[in-house]
Structure 1
Amino acid sequence: MNEKYNVSSSPHIRDKVTSSNIMLYVVIALLPATFFGIWNFRHENAWILVVVTTAAAVLSEYLYEKLMHKPITINDFSAVVTGLLLALNLPPTLPWWMGVLGAVFAIIVVKQLFGGLGQNFMNPALGARCFLLICFAGKMTYFVYDGVTGPTPLAELKAGETVNTLSMLLGNIRGTIGETSVVAIMIGAMFLILMGVIDLRIPGTYIVTFVIFITLFGGHGFDPQYITAHLCGGGLMLGAWFMATDYVTSPITSKGKILFGICLGCLTGLFRLFGGSAEGVSYAIIISNLLVPLIEKVTLPKPFGKGGEK
Structure 2
Amino acid sequence: MAQGSNFVDYVKVCCRSGHGGAGSAHLHRDKHTAKGGPDGGDGGRGGHIILKGSSQHWTLLHLKYRKHIIAADGERGGASLRSGATGTDEILEVPLGTVAKDAETGEVLFEITADGETQILTPGGKGGLGNWHFKSATQQTPRHAQPGIPGKEQWVILELKVLADVGLVGFPNAGKSTLLSVVSAAKPEIANYPFTTLVPNLGIVGYRDSKSFVMADIPGIIEGASQGKGLGYRFLRHIERNSVLLFMVPSDTDRTIAEEYNILLNELTTYNRELLDKPRLLAVTKSDMLDEELQNEMKLQLPPHIPYIFISSVAGKNIQELKDMLWRTINS
Q: What is the TM-score of this pair, normalised by structure 1?
A: 0.28
In terms of fraction of residues, the more helix-rich structure is: 1
Which has the larger Rg? 2
In terms of fraction of residues, the more strand-rich structure is: 2
